Structure 1
Amino acid sequence: MSTTSPGPSARAPRSARAGRRAARLLAASGVVALLLTGCADFSAEEPTFTVQPSLTAREVEPQQETRVVPSPGATTAPSTSASDQSAPVPSGSASAAPDPCAPTDAAVIATCLAAPWGLAPLPDGSAALVGERTTGRILQVAPQQDAQVLFELSTVGIDSAGDGGLLGLALSPSYTEDGLLYAYVTTATDNRIIRIAAGDEPKAIFTGIPKGTEHNGGRIGFAADRSLYVGTGDTGNPALAADPTSLAGKVLRLDEFGKPAADNPTPGSAVYASGFTQVAGVCPLTDGTMAALDRRTDADVLLPLAAGGSYATPAAGAVLWTWPRAEGGAADCAITGTTLATTSLDKQQVSALRLNPDRTFSGTPTQVLDNRYGRLLTVTPDSKGLLWATTSNKDGFGTPVPSDDRVIVIPTDGGGADGGPD
């Protein structure tokens, strides 16, 4: 494992970087507003988020990149550069080839990533940690800064076959004091939870979650009571989701040391709820409880979690919302303020719903971001109410551009128009 080393991209000379930064600052004044143009209309609501000044613009329209399908066998060299502009070309010199990993959109925080999956904004919202599923690298990314490789989990033995690898990330509830990071990873033998501290080897704190060629789960998140919720998949074997002796197809609840939470339904067992297919998201609700987004054959469903609950066949009223797979489904969920935000891989969008205090929804899903960055996978809120998201265009199902895959930042102030829950 290496700590706090710069990414592989070479830096431009100081003068070029200064010119580039000046160009960025002149250009970056309203991208957040432009992202909402033609999408959600929240004009009747008071904003509940604070836009980062570095992401705002009024006169510059984000450049629309032409999507291209790479030639068979072609690869894009990873780059951790997050610069907005290429260095200026001296007058009279031959035109330099544009850097495909230099984004022209100020809402794009990082480019040319390898299968970004786990995403965890820092407590102050100034940056985020992102994990690459296939490489095991964890990088810190921030607006207008080059990304930094913080950890390379080579000693863990990451197995990225199927949908496994370096999956969910979560910051310790006391991250500003202890700097601890939690990750869900697939190894040669199992899925497990590891805890990572700067300058130390990653430590496995919970092991033995079944692995498979699909449905490995991987979403993790801390609740208000400092419990770590872990969503697992059924590994393609639905019978395991109903098996009380298996950790597959479950939501687990652990303490910060990886031990089963003391007040779990069965003493000494990590299982909190069962009957899941592929837990794609865990979302803390406004009342302090947790919900799980489960990806199923015909539809993706948001389920409020109850201790000992069995969700193979949810009881009437147990499903908070349903996203039919034929309409794009939902790939991940995030709740910020009074908004439930979900991503869609197939529909290439972020949708928003108004969440009420009683865990019901007002209105119908409204597109906050639509068909701008391709397939969207992970979404998570920061402390300022902005949403950080990852693209998933190089997963074999998308149409990548040279700068894929990316981390982007978008706002939401809570969506929904007329209508109601299905």
Structure 2
Amino acid sequence: MSPSPQRLVRPLAGALAAAMLLATTACGFGPPDADATIDAPALPVPTATPPDDDPAASVLARGLEVPWGVAFLPDGAAVVTERDTRRILRVGPDSDAGGPVVRPVQTITEADAGGEGGLLGIAVSPRYADDKKIFIYYTTARDNRIAQLTLGQRPTPIVTGIPISGVHNGGRLAFGPDGHLYASTGDAGRTGLSQDLNSLGGKILRMTPLGQPAPGNPFPGKLIWSYGHRNVQGLAWDAGKRLYATEFGQNTWDEINRIDKGGNYGWPIVEGTGTDSRYINPLVTWTTDEASCSGAAIVGSTIFAACLRGRRLWAVDLTPDGDVFGAPRPMLVEGYGRLRAAVRAPDGSLWVTTSNHDGRGTPAPDDDRILRLVPAGGGGVGRS
């Protein structure tokens, strides 16, 4: 469909100064299992106050409804999913309007919005100039699934049967530096699925663009790349091609993990840092009140985690070997409410979406928004 452009942009200027007090609830549901191991988080620990180099954020788009996934086309424009409306939006320059605009380009009627489900992740084919393929992750009445489509046409499912629930649907999609498609799935509120290698729930999946297990996957004939996850919603790679993931804990610890091929990350046996060598410990943990991070992006040598309940953006510096350097730094603390997606734009800036219309926030008149930041010290990326 080709609706008229909707003007939703202001110039990329300085930071908004207004702070908002938001009422939110946790993503955790119920107490930990009786046999869960919950230990204190490993160092480094978060800093207590925002740093002086908190980057200026400019509002790139406003008036959206739960923008969930962001990916970029070869021309620099972004495609953005809205979870509840099930729309795909194009955010980019328009020669007639004289500046960036937001334009709805398609509604995925096959998606079924409800709870934490709906139209979730989106990824653009690395060969988009030739194949024009977009990949989406969405909820139906029966399952979560991954599909490919050409914009304006009906999606063709390539993976079905991902467990569904009102919570913990996972949903992030991203192409890795190896050219394969990665997807994060949740445990759908059934904790046993995360350790079950016959289930797609509670996993990070790795596949070809046709939805087949990618060559080199650790479990022959399976899509699974790693397991023992509760609800991963952020995926990002560093310059060394190492994969990192943000993960929602239950009531105590949220995590950033460095993902190893075939790794078991412990859920539901362990939440946070444990002592059992069978399970891989996180690089960083936070309390759920200051985290519940959904999106992840790496700019330079820093991983940024966009957090919902914590209403902030965490910046975590990485060493050349992929470890954490120094203490994580909180940014944008409560300045924009709940933060959902984080993605590195082609120009090296960081795009972050708010999620104040998701039923757990208090929307401001401008919500929901797409923010643009140029982090100081982000691997040589300076302020704009």
1:136 correspondence with 2:86: yes
1:127 to 55, 77, 97: 77
Do the aligned residues in 1 keep the contact of 2:12 with 2:60 (CA within 8 Å)? no
Matching residue of 1:218: 171
Which position in structure 2 is the counterpart of 1:96? none
Amino acid at match of 2:107: E
**CA separation of 1:305 and 1:199: change in aligned 2, threshold 3 A:** same
Counterparts of 2:22 and 2:257 in 1: how far apart (Å)?
38
The answer to which of 365-374 and 110-119 deviates more is 365-374
Report how far residue 6 of structure 1 moved: 2.8
Judged with a 3 Å threshold, the aligned counterparts in structure 2 of structure 1 residues 67 and 300 are, in CA distance, closer, same or farther, namely: closer
Structure 1 residue aligned with 2:296: 333
Q: Which residue of 2 aligns with 1:160?
A: 113
Q: Which residue of 2 aligns with 1:308?
A: 262
Aligned partner of residue 370 in structure 1, secondary structure:
coil
User: Which blocks of at least 5 consecutive residues in structure 2 are unaligned?
Assistant: 24-55, 94-98, 380-384
Contact 1:323 1:330 in 2 (8 A): no
Contact 2:88–2:106 (8 Å) recurs in 1: yes
Give, in whole Å, the separation in 1 of the partners of 2:74 and 2:7. 29
Q: Please name the residue that 1:250 is paired with.
A: 203
Percent identity of the aligned residues? 38
1:231-242 correspondence to structure 2 within 5 Å: 231-242=184-195
Corresponding residue for residue 263 of structure 1: 216
Aligned residue runs from structure 1 range 65-214, under 5 A: 107-123=58-74, 126-142=76-92, 144-154=99-109, 156=110, 158-214=111-167
Change (3 A) 1:201 1:29: closer
- Choose between structure 1 and 2 for higher RCO, CA contacts under 8 A separated by at least 6 residues: 2
The structural deviation recorded for 1:202 is 1.3
Q: In the alignment, does 2:232 pair up with 1:279? A: yes
Which has a greater percent of helix? 1
Give the match for residue 371 of structure 1.
Answer: 334
Where 2:147 maps in the other structure, the secondary structure is strand
The normalised TM-score by structure 2 is 0.79
Are residues 331 and 10 of structure 1, via their aligned partners in 2, closer, same or farther at CA, if it must alter by over 3 Å?
A: closer
| Contact kept? 1:353, 1:415, Cα under 8 Å | no
Report the Cα distance in structure 2 between the residues aligned to 1:302 and 1:66, rounded to whole angstroms: 26
Superposition map of 1:385-396 within 5 A: 385-396=348-359
User: Aligned to 2:179, what secondary structure does the other structure show?
Assistant: coil
In structure 1, what is the equivalent of residue 319 of structure 2? 356
Paired residue total:
332
Q: Distance in 1 between matches of 2:209 and 2:334?
A: 39
CA distance in 1 between counterparts of 2:18 and 2:106 reads 33
- Tell me how far apart the structure 2 counterparts of residues 360 and 10 of structure 1 sit (CA, whole Å): 43
Partners in 1 of 2:355 and 2:102 — Cα distance? 18
SS of the residue corresponding to residue 352 of structure 2 reads: strand
- With normalisation by structure 1, the TM-score equals 0.73
**C-alpha distance in 1 between matches for 2:334 and 2:20:** 12
Task: Report if the CA contact (8 A) 2:299-2:378 is conserved.
Answer: no
Give the distance between the partners of 1:145 and 1:183, measured in 2 at CA.
24
Considering only CA atoms, is the larger Rg found in Structure 1 or Structure 2? 1
Q: Kindly provide the CA deviation profile for residues 155-193 of structure 1, in whole angstroms up to 9, marking residues without a partner as x.
A: x2x111110110011111122333321111000111010
Is residue 294 from structure 1 mapped to residue 294 from structure 2 by the alignment?
no
Calculate the aligned-residue CA RMSD, in Å: 2.6
Q: What residue number does 1:384 align with?
A: 347
- Aligned-partner Cα distance in 1 for 2:90–2:163: 30
